[in-house]
Structure 1
Amino acid sequence: MCRFLAWIGDPRFIDEFVLNAGQSLVTQSRSALIGKTSLNADGFGLAWYGDRDLPCVYKDVHPAWSDENLKQIASHIKARLFLAHVRASTSTAISRNNCHPFSKGRWSFMHNGQLGGHLKLRQKLDVMIPVECYDQRYGATDSEAIFLIAVGLGLDRSPISAMEQAVGKVEMLAREAGHTPHMRFSACWSDGEKVYAARYASDRFVPSLFYRLQEDGIVVCSEPLDEDESGWIEISPGTAITTDGRTLEKVEFRPQACVVNT
């Protein structure tokens, strides 16, 4: 699977979490402690928000630990909100277009998980992406498709509900085709003002997701960033969070119920 983190709060240098923490994201790219695979070497990416409305995205196919440009960028950029991701591909090629985070307009998105039978469902998945979003379909991942479907379902109006609907609709493809696991989904997305995250699976193997409240902000991540696990709170399966860096709200995340209701 993949590993990711997001920070929202007072401006912090990206390398504090991506490179310098005891169990930093780069460390996790070589030796993740939680998850299906310990190695996440199929590319990496950053998305950060500065003085403009749109995020700046940098990503490449190298393993995160070997990219000197990542070290330079992370040690010089200070941002109040950023997303970072290291990839372990489950079905698609190692390419820049398949690396996370994905972006459209002011939104950025990253994902850890999988859609059962993705390669056999790719054509049907692409059909679900609205025409007005399809020009942003650069790669071939299920993650990017879920993101663009959510944008089309009203991510701007209701960031949690739109993502819930998108995940439910995509999961239904796998259910109807009989592919397992139907859906495993741990994701984080942002509009530059708030960070949203959700944890869900159609089986008991739910991808991990944690957060920690700090004096100057909130960090959301796939696994704790240091050996001292005190203060790290695990997000329960079937839960979504919204945070502005000062407060944090939790709500149910029930994709299948959402699909039934629609």
Structure 2
Amino acid sequence: MCRWMAYFGDPVPVEDLLFRPEHSIIDQSLHAKLGSFTTNGDGFGIGWYGTGSVPAVFKSTHPAWSDENLHEVATQINTPLLFAHVRASSGTPVQRSNCHPFRYGRWLWMHNGSLARFPELKHDMMMAVDPALYPKIEGSTDTEALFFLALTFGLTEDPPNAVARAVGLTEQIGRRRGVEYPVHMTVATTDGETIWAFRYSSEGNTSSLYYSTDVAQLRQLHPELDVLDRLGPDARLIVSEPLRDLPGAWNEVPDGSWGFVRRGKQEIHPFEPVRGG
């Protein structure tokens, strides 16, 4: 399994998000507490939105905790939306093209979890990908396969429905192959304006996922924390693990649900795979 975090809000230094929290995503690359693996050292990636028309992506096969380039880059970037991911491979090679987040146009996608017995499912999944999208697939992971299935089913127009259809098809393929619980995932995807997050597994026992409490409420709870004064009113974090032990700061995303965060609005809804195509 892997660890990931997503930030949305006013522009902030990436260094503050990646390195300063007590249990930052960098610390989680070595000392994860809630995942199946303590160490997530099979590469990392960050994706962020700046002045260009598409997000920038920086990835490496090095462990995040020892990559000096990551720290150098992080000190020079301010962004209103950041995806960060540290990888623990579930069997596919440790190579840059398999590091998250994945990008298509303005869209980013990252994942924690696995598709059970993916090598047996891969052919049928790939055959369902839109032929026009297929040449854009660079790596060999189950994550990227699920991303391109979601794109095939209309991710850029209706993310919740597209992910539900991609998951539903994956479960159908898996069960035809005798896989009882094919899907285990927490997923984040974004177009730069909204972050959608999903927590679901076929067996109903999904990896952890949390979102941060409203900043105004946090300031009332913890007036001693100067860092909260530097965050705008729309600031939200979605994380595999809380970044620090702060009472009232973190809320668990319910298992079997999806939600979104955009400026001035956030919602959570039940997630149900759509089967049949």
Bin of the TM-score, shorter chain as denominator length: over 0.9
The one-letter code matched in structure 1 to 2:165 is Q
Aligned to 2:255, which of 228, 232, 237? 237
Q: Is the aligned partner of 1:175 residue 2:175?
A: yes
Structure 1 regions of 5+ residues with no counterpart? none
The one-letter code matched in structure 2 to 1:231 is A
* 1:12 aligned partner: 12
The one-letter code matched in structure 2 to 1:10 is D
The farther-off stretch of 160-169 and 179-188 is 179-188
The offset of 1:230, in angstroms, is 2.2
Q: For residues 263 and 22 of structure 2, what CA distance do their matches in structure 1 show?
A: 22
Q: How many residues in Structure 1 have an aligned counterpart in Structure 2?
A: 259
TM-score by length of 1: 0.95
Q: Output one character per residue of 1:75-109: Cα deviation in whole Å (capped at 9) or x when no partner.
A: 21010011000000012000000000001011000
Whether the 8 Å contact between 1:9 and 1:246 is mirrored in structure 2 is no
Q: For residues 252 and 161 of structure 1, what CA distance do their matches in structure 2 show?
A: 12
Aligned to 2:267, which of 249, 253, 262? 249
Q: Output one character per residue of 1:183-219: Cα deviation in whole Å (capped at 9) or x when no partner.
A: 1010100001110101001114201111003432101
Q: Secondary structure, in 3 states, of the residue corresponding to 1:220?
A: strand
* 1:259 aligned partner: 275
Q: For residues 77 and 35 of structure 2, what CA distance do their matches in structure 1 show?
A: 29
**Identical amino acids, percent of aligned pairs:** 37
* 1:73 aligned partner: 73
Q: Output one character per residue of 1:87-145: Cα deviation in whole Å (capped at 9) or x when no partner.
A: 00012000000000001011000000111110222222211211111121100001001
Q: For residues 143 and 247 of structure 2, what CA distance do their matches in structure 1 show?
A: 29
1:88-237 equivalence runs, <5 A: 88-215=88-215, 216=232, 217-237=235-255
The one-letter code matched in structure 2 to 1:259 is R
TM-score by length of 2: 0.90
Whether the 8 Å contact between 2:115 and 2:183 is mirrored in structure 1 is yes
Whether the 8 Å contact between 2:44 and 2:63 is mirrored in structure 1 is yes
Q: For residues 74 and 150 of structure 1, what CA distance do their matches in structure 2 show?
A: 30
Q: Which runs of 4+ in 1 moved over 6 A?
A: none
Q: For residues 245 and 201 of structure 1, what CA distance do their matches in structure 2 show?
A: 29
Structure 2 regions of 5+ residues with no counterpart? 216-231
